[in-house]
């Protein structure tokens, strides 16, 4: 449990951590309450790491990419709002984080997020055609070259 506590404290405070923590995956489940939806693939949660102890942390949904709210074309922005709105019912609800690991940006972790009504959030977004699979590396553009110039 001290590993869970330490890793979540590190993630929650935006510290990249020591080399000993690099590459570790916390299998979970880690109970959490959704505080807010940032965009289609990022939420903010309060994760319960111990009795009476919670850590606020940004969680990127593992395995997907959604359009950006500040996208390069109007179509991307519209799709980004639709992806965010798909998750609009979850603030204030309980989720379970599994497969948690450090994201490439400080202060954010990557995890599978299970919800009682929606199931796996990434799978729900994929099924609604609001996301595409993403396994790391360079992300594909949401706009074609012509619409990105507008």
Q: What is the average pLDDT across 110-124?
A: 97
Whether the pLDDT of residue 147 is over 80: the answer is: no
> Quick one: pLDDT at residue 19?
36
Q: What is the average pLDDT across 121-126?
A: 98
> Quick one: pLDDT at residue 145?
54
pLDDT digits (tens, 9 = 90+) for 10-53: 444 433 333 334 589 999 999 999 999 999 999 999 999 999 99
> Quick one: pLDDT at residue 10?
41
Q: Bigger pLDDT: 117 or 71?
A: 117
**How many CA atoms does the CB half-sphere of 48 hold within 13 Å?**
10
- Angle among Cα 112, 33, 115 to the nearest 5 degrees reads 45
Whether the pLDDT of residue 4 is over 80: the answer is: no
- Angle among Cα 18, 23, 127 to the nearest 5 degrees reads 135
Ordered structural domains, the chain, with CATH? 2-137 (2.40.50.90)
């Amino acid at each position: 449990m001290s590993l869970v506590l330490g890793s979540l404290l590190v993630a929650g405070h935006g510290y990249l951590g020591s080399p000993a923590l690099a590459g570790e995956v916390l299998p979970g489940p880690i109970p959490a309450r959704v505080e807010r939806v940032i965009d289609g693939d990022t939420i903010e949660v309060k994760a319960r790491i111990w009795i009476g102890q919670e850590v606020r942390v940004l969680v990127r949904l593992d395995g997907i990419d959604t359009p950006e709210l500040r996208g390069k074309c109007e179509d991307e922005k519209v799709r980004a709002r639709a992806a965010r709105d798909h998750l609009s019912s979850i603030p204030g609800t309980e989720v379970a984080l599994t497969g948690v690991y450090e994201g490439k940006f400080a202060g954010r972790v990557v995890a599978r997020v299970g919800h009682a009504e929606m199931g796996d959030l990434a799978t729900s977004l994929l099924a609604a055609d609001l996301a595409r699979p993403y396994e790391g590396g360079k992300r594909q553009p949401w706009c074609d070259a012509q619409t990105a110039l507008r």
